[in-house]
Amino acid sequence: MNFADAIKVCFSKYMDFNGRARRSELWWFFLFCLIGNFVLGMVSSLLSSLFALATLLPGLAVGARRLHDTNRSGWWQLIGLIPVIGLIVLIVFFVQEGQSGDNQYGPPAK
């Protein structure tokens, strides 16, 4: 999956917390959010805040789908609220390879 495809998929599944997402989908969307916030922050903090708010739900949804790919519940994202340690654990979960076959969250992402 390339950069443009990941952004299209994440916005088309704006609030879809079901299914699975590949690593590339999550990390390309994360890069899009990072660049968007940086560029809009240079222009206006209000625009940056609005962009962050607009990408919050798709970011949470793709994070949940990515955790589903590793056979974990999307609720594991809450561990990121624990300072430093939680974020490290969440990144480790996100970079792990997904299951190759079906799991309780459905077939592998394409």
Q: How far is CA 53 from CA 12, 20, 49, in A?
A: 17, 23, 6
Residue type, 68: H
For 55, the token pair is 């990408």
CA separation, residue 97 to residues 8, 23, 51 (Å): 22, 8, 30
Q: What proportions of the chain, in percent to the nearest 5, are helix, strand and coil?
A: 65, 0, 30
Give the tens place of pLDDT for each residue, 54-94: 999 999 999 999 999 999 999 999 999 999 999 999 999 99
What pTM was computed for the model?
A: 0.91
Enumerate the β-bridge partners of residue 103: 106
In contact, 72 and 4? CB cutoff 8 Å: no
pLDDT tens-digit profile of 19-46?
999 999 999 999 999 999 999 999 999 9
All structural domains of the chain with their residue ranges: 3-95
